[in-house]
Amino acid sequence: MKRAILLSFFFPFLLIFLCVRLAFTELFVELNYRFGDLPPDRWGMGYEERLSIAKLGLRSVLSDEGMEEFISSGLFREKEISHMQDVKSLLSVVFKVLYVGGPLWLFLFFSLRDKKKMGFVLFSGAVLTEILVIFVLVFSILNYDLLFEAFHNFFFDPYSWRFFDQDMLLRVYPMKFWYNATLWVGVFCFILNAFFQAIGFILWRKVF
């Protein structure tokens, strides 16, 4: 039973990390730009150029080659580059946990060999995920600026991520971009989690 409790505890992290990973794709950036109702650039930068630079920023946090391209573009100040390097380091930890922990979690989960225990893991893990996701969604709707600031101050130096309005990072990633991303990831995670929760409930109650 201890293993089942541990698996339940780690379930939210892996599911949320999976949804975050899916958000760090060019498709997600394109959807945010197309349907996210982002405010226009105050200095008149066009849609295509802005989207192209946003994708450049995405590549910078996903690979060393992307970071080199980001730096050599000459579009960003040193402080912006430093912050993106910090983001890249954080994401590398998150994705390593997902890539290593995901398969390990699945191995331990199926090794339970007991439908009732497996159902308990999925259902209880999904309940924990549900609580966390609902908290983030409600907090985002009520005061996203505070949530954004708390997150950045926790993971980064408080003075490393604050920029001028004219800095390129704020021009291609306005606050509405991150607000949309947080809500969309939260909703997608909630839907995916509900699927696992239903399966967990069925297995736990031994309906079949």
pLDDT computed for residue 129 by the predictor: 97
The pLDDT confidence band at residue 203, using thresholds 50, 70 and 90, is: confident
Instruction: Give the model confidence (pLDDT) of 10-37 as tens digits.
Output: 999 999 999 999 999 999 999 999 999 9
Please answer whether residues 15 and 196 qualify as being in contact, where contact means their C-beta atoms are separated by less than 8 angstroms: yes
Residue partners of 77: CB distance under 8 A and separation at least 6: 163, 167
Which residue has better confidence, 114 or 195? Answer: 195
> Are the C-beta atoms of residues 200 and 192 closer than 8 Å to each other?
no
pLDDT for 114: 87
Higher pLDDT, residue 1 or 174: 174
**Which residue in 26, 15, 28, 21 sits closest to 180, CA to CA?**
28
Average pLDDT of the chain to the nearest whole number: 94
Q: What angle do CA 54, 55, 57 make, to 5 degrees?
A: 65
pLDDT digits (tens, 9 = 90+) for 37-72: 999 999 999 999 999 999 999 999 999 999 999 999
Q: What confidence score (pLDDT) does residue 200 get?
A: 92
Could you list the residue range(s) of the whole structural domain that residue 44 is in? 2-204
Q: Copy the structure tokens of residue 207.
A: 């309906």
Mean pLDDT along residues 171-188: 97
Q: In this structure, what token pair is assigned to residue 179?
A: 């607000």
Residue 73 has pLDDT above 60, yes or no: yes
Distance CA 187, CA 120 (A): 23
Interval 162-171 mean pLDDT: 96
Residues 9 and 125 sit within 8 Å (Cβ to Cβ)? yes
Q: Which amino acid is at 176?
A: K
- pLDDT in the model for residue 113: 85
Count structural domains, the chain: 1
Distances in Å between the Cα of 89 and the Cα atoms of 1, 64, 85, 120 are: 35, 11, 6, 34
pTM of the model: 0.92
